[in-house]
Amino acid sequence: MSKLKEFITIHQLSVTFPSGEQEKKALQQLELSLYEGQWTAIVGSNGCGKSTLAKVLTGLIPPTSGSVQIDSKAHPAVQMVFQNPETPIIGETVYEDVCFGLMNYGVDAEAMKRRALEALQQVGLLPLAEAQTASLSGGQKQLLNIAGCLALNPPIYVFDEATSMLDPLSRQHVLEAVRKLHDQGHTILWITQLLDELAWCDRVVAIEDGSIAYDGPKTDFFYPASGDEQSVCESLGFVAPYTVKTVQALRKRGFQLNPLPVSPIEFSKAVSALYDSN
């Protein structure tokens, strides 16, 4: 982690909303550094402050106090994909919709066409360029939203529970598109309640009541040092994915899997390695 360039520096970030007679502290003196090219997953229960963090990062709401510094000259530096695929869709056709952001940034007609078509190609929607946006499925709409961000070529992408309204196959398509972005060196902030999606990330940050409760590798999040202790994941009240629960049960029976898997594919490799070594 220390070799990566610090890309976003969040210092003493607090966000307070008016709430009746009182105030609601959505984020409380948050300290967080995000690194270039890293895929960071943000997890936390409803209302802990995840979306507020995403909105501050994308400039949709200002900090009440503290600061967010982004070490990039790109414009825009950050783009966000929202939970509801319908929210950002404006264009009548798929192509028009991707062009919308480019028009807002004053991109000339020739470059706009090239960048829009390239972005649609990358997410697999080029054959649907002339389709009506209203005719797309939820998963296709979310891919279109990703294409809209891609066309603007920001170095940082924030996904706020971007798969939570999609069926499993569409979810997989979106995750594949994001994996491509990550492979190309983009920085990903992936907010999720679906812990099996942590298989894709480099680092996990758990938020509790507007503060950071855990920041570290996914294996340390899911697995305690010894098979009998409680994991960070469990102690924070999350339910571990099926693969992790299975490995925990195996560890209690004396099976040592190495490296500790999070995804089913990692699990199958670790089990094969166990057989090969016997």
Ligand X SMILES: Nc1ncnc2c1ncn2[C@@H]1O[C@H](COP(=O)(O)OP(=O)(O)OP(=O)(O)O)[C@@H](O)[C@H]1O
Q: Which member of 24, 113, 180, 269 binds ligand X (CB under 6 A)?
A: 24
Is 78 a binding residue for ligand X by CB under 6 A? The answer is no
Give the chain as a 3 state SS string.
CCCCCEEEEEEEEEEEEEECCEEEEEEEEEEEEEECCCEEEEECCCCCCHHHHHHHHCCCCCCCEEEEEECCCCCCCEEEECCCCCCCCCCCEHHHHHHHHHHHCCCCHHHHHHHHHHHHHHHCCHHHCCCEHHHCCHHHHHHHHHHHHHHCCCCEEEEECCCCCCCHHHHHHHHHHHHHHHHCCCEEEEECCCHHHHHHCCEEEEEECCEEEEEECHHHHHCCCCCCCCCHHHHCCCCCCHHHHHHHHHHHCCCCCCCCCCCHHHHHHHHHHHHHHC
Tokens 């995750």 belong to residue: 175
Q: Beta partners for 6? A: 35
Task: Return the residues of window 143-162 that contact ligand X according to CB under 6 A.
Answer: none
For ligand X, which is the closer residue by CB, 2 or 22? 22
Is 26 a binding residue for ligand X by CB under 6 A? The answer is yes
Is 63 a binding residue for ligand X by CB under 6 A? The answer is no
Is 81 a binding residue for ligand X by CB under 6 A? The answer is no
Question: Crossing angle, helix 168-183 and helix 138-151, to 10 degrees?
Answer: 20
For ligand X, which is the closer residue by CB, 78 or 119? 78
For ligand X, which is the closer residue by CB, 26 or 143? 26
Q: Which member of 19, 65, 132, 256 binds ligand X (CB under 6 A)?
A: 19
Is 50 a binding residue for ligand X by CB under 6 A? The answer is yes
Q: Which member of 10, 13, 38, 49 binds ligand X (CB under 6 A)?
A: 49
For ligand X, which is the closer residue by CB, 48 or 260? 48
For ligand X, which is the closer residue by CB, 26 or 120? 26
Q: Which member of 1, 5, 12, 47 binds ligand X (CB under 6 A)?
A: 47
Is 137 a binding residue for ligand X by CB under 6 A? The answer is no
Is 272 a binding residue for ligand X by CB under 6 A? The answer is no
Is 123 a binding residue for ligand X by CB under 6 A? The answer is no
Cβ atoms of residues 29 and 12 within 8 Å: yes
For ligand X, which is the closer residue by CB, 201 or 270? 201
Residue 65 CB, shortest distance to ligand X, in Å, is: 16
Residue 19 CB, shortest distance to ligand X, in Å, is: 5
Q: Which member of 2, 46, 277, 278 binds ligand X (CB under 6 A)?
A: 46
Q: Is the dihedral of CA 248, 254, 257, 258 positive or negative?
A: positive
For ligand X, which is the closer residue by CB, 17 or 255? 17
Q: Give contact residues for ligand X (rule: CB under 6 A).
A: 17, 19, 24, 26, 44, 46-52
